[in-house]
């Protein structure tokens, strides 16, 4: 996904601040949620449809 050079990435508040092995997401991209691996911040990002991501997270929380 192009256009992420100036993205502001964030981790879950449940992530351990000292360990760099979690997913990061960037807000502000209408219709998609960019996701990347915090261990490889210069690596590729995946772009998930926001409604699909919301469904995924809702399912995880209910499990």
Please tell me which residue, 1 or 43, carries the higher pLDDT value.
43
Question: Which whole number is the average pLDDT over 32-57?
Answer: 94
Number of domains in the chain: 1
- Within 8 A by CB and 6+ apart from 38, the residues are 9, 11, 20, 21, 22, 23, 24
**Residue range of the domain that includes 32:** 9-62
Q: Tell me whether residue 3 is in a domain.
A: no
> What is the model's pTM?
0.80
Residue 63 tokens read as: 């499990």
Instruction: Count CB atoms within 10 A of the CB of residue 57.
Output: 11
d(CA 24, CA 8): 10
Q: Tell me whether residue 27 is in a domain.
A: yes
Residue 41 tokens read as: 């911040």
Question: Which whole number is the average pLDDT over 7-23?
Answer: 81
Q: Tell me whether residue 48 is in a domain.
A: yes
């Amino acid at each position: 996904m192009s256009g992420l050079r100036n993205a502001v990435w964030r981790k879950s508040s449940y992530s351990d601040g000292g360990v760099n092995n979690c997913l990061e997401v960037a807000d502000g991209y209408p219709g998609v949620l960019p996701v990347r691996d915090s261990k490889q911040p210069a690596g590729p990002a995946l772009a998930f449809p926001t409604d699909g991501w919301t469904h995924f997270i809702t399912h995880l929380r209910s499990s």
